[in-house]
Structure 1
Amino acid sequence: MSSERNTPSFLPGPPVDRTTWEGWQRWCQIRKAFIPAPVLTAEEFALKSPRQKRIHNLYRIATHSSLPIQTTPMSESVAHAVRARVEEGAFSHKAGTRGGIMVNGDGAQGKTETVCEAMALFMEEWLKLNNYMNPDAMPGTRDLVAPVAYVRCPVKATPISTCQRILDFYGEDYKGMRLEDLIRTVKTAIIEHATKALVIDDITRLKLHREADQDVLDLIREMMSMPVTLILVGVGIPTSGLLREGSRDPKTREWIYPPVKDRGRSPNDHAASQHERRFQVVNMDPFRYDTAQGMNAWITHLRGLEGHMRLLTDTKGMLTGGDMPEYLFRRTGGVVGVLEKLLQRGLRLAIEDKSEHLTKDLLNQFTVTPGDMPDLDAASGEQPTIPPHEPTPKKKPRGRNTVFDDDGPAATGSDG
């Protein structure tokens, strides 16, 4: 059987849902498994059959759509703070409240991926240290060991829906449960599954003018009294109301929560008043281009992306030469998510028009829009501010583009 008839290695597998334990575990295992397309010269590409060329072009598209998450000075700082906070709680022998951490930043800054990567590394180390077992397991408790739990905040959160999201991660049955039962089951699940870090993403989807949201916030604070470190990730946390009842310690830079008043309908009357609730707040900022240090960091980031581009021409200097760094910063505002979408679209055009080169003229032909990031909720402020750009008219093609056409089994040349 010819190699063409086999399933291409770059085809994606089933979608990964990190909000379930099975999905989270699978993501941790495969997050670095993708092998990018080989680097070919134009001469090597020309020796391939028409169908082989098409397959290679699709492989290149898959590579550009799967650009690795590169570390930045900002992400390294956030990852270190998150990892330190979780380790302080996980390795503590005390029974007191674990400090939490909030990761703040605008949309498309890479907050989620930074936190998830940090927690994947923590989980791998924790499981290895404990021989992949629950060191606190007792007879009759669950076998599932989940050091990290990851959930996304519902768009319109209530205490019930928030508890259900957490229990969905573990695969727990909560049918017919009242709120009190849900809270008790969440506590039991976190303890018996040996969860040391609970990540609640999109936390600023909570609009605290709603009474139900106040109750969810009380529920989150109550979780801090459990043996788990809370990691809350969101956009615009300082202005969201999540911190409005607290004050910031100028020395530790932690937010200290006093006892809560006017607690609405929360069933846990003393939950937020037992302790002062502490959260460390860290920011994931975009790149800056107003200092030499900021410029160098931006250029280093672009240079790293050059190494992952799969064009038939030498990509070295394609993003970092001349005034291209300044141009790319102007088009993206230094936001890594916007930069990724800009490059992905540009690289595809460079393949389709056979220029095999990224230029300002090519990138000027289109604009990145919020529609390119549909997983970000506009109503919650998650979509980034994209610098305005007026696309230039595309050059009229001489004929129909056939770069992705399938010539079928009758294509000339060797299939091997």
Structure 2
Amino acid sequence: MQNVKGTYDFFGREQALRQQVQDTLRACFELYDFTAMDTALLNELEVLASKYAGGDEILKEMYRLSDQGGRDLGLRYDLTIPFAKVVALNPGIELPFRRYEIGKVFRDGPVKKGRLREFLQCDADIAGIAGPQAEAELIQVAVQVFRTLGIPVVLKWNNRKFLGELLEAVGVPGEAQLSVMLSLDKLAKIGIDGVLAELKDKALSPEAVSAIAAMLAQQNPGFEQLTEMYGLEGKPGALEVAELEQLIAAIGLSGVCSFDPFLSRGLSFYTGTVYEIFDASGSYTSSLGSGGRYDAIIGKLSGREDIPYPTVGISFGMEAIMALLAGRPLPEAASAVLVVPLGSTLPQALLTASALREAGIRTTLASGGRKLKKILASASAKGTRYVVLIGEDEAAQDMVLLKDMQEGTEELLSVEQAVWTIEG
């Protein structure tokens, strides 16, 4: 037997670390008043493959299947489209609506470090806020999450409207802009020459390709520089960039956030701000999280494009975060009180363990067949402080022998007294 390629089983101390990361994310989401959601893994293929969803790039990686009724279905490839579907199906939902979800998604894509075919995504989304407030809050969420995890990050951001205005200014027609954006988004991976090679295969004029080459040749062009150079003052995308840039500066996050005019993100549904999060040290090059604004999906899925559903979200990549944390020491499992039945005292041991658990004390019951000396040695090695021994004499007195492994002492107590002692 072996696992399907790109899938893994997690247990023991590694799962404990994964749970720590998820608990950090969940706590941060709830601090910002996001409510939990759990969406369906299985979806109608028509929804996942609609022109309003992720675009051709992601659809190539979608797992497709059919049920016994012959219906075409697909496994969700992200948590965004299922969220949009929920809002579209519930038009009476109160806006703004803030939700988070931590759940598995599936993509039949290449497997590498930090990228699997079955993986966990951790998303937060806000529907119903049109201005930059929602983007600013999600940026704050990201900064707080990674600060808590002890991971210095840089958040690169851009605006697709602004990038579209740039491309229009250099002669890229509207119908070709999305394709050009997807090529520009690969700049860090394939370099300027790779991007230009892709652009030459697209339906662009030689003048447009030359103008894009000149733009790419500039050394880290800033927003103000590009706006002035290409005459974009007052354009909708440029105004959105300026507004968010001012807000980022006002909340003291300019040192973490870096404007990248060529960032566009691979999914086609983004309509405005987009961002990606990276390890600031550069030791891990894949994205740790990403997201952006997608104002059109919900209205289109509901068939009511006239109803505005301004929406923005952020997604944290669990596998990428775990890959970055791989060199860190794994957490020790919390030590539990060990209850040991001696002789024929299993009923009393089960009742004692139940009383401890009802008091909120993590408790494990020793299994039979092992010598007491080995049981105590194993408990000591695991860092277990308290062992509750129940022999025939203790059971007859309705008492237990509480052994403090740290202090090397033992005391005959009632179950209630043992609970009180363990609770400290």
Give the TM bin, normalised by the shorter chain. under 0.3
User: Normalised by the size of structure 2, how large is the TM-score?
Assistant: 0.23
Q: Which has the larger radius of gyration?
A: 2
Higher relative contact order (CA 8 A, sep 6+): 1
Higher strand share: 2
User: Normalised by the size of structure 1, how large is the TM-score?
Assistant: 0.24
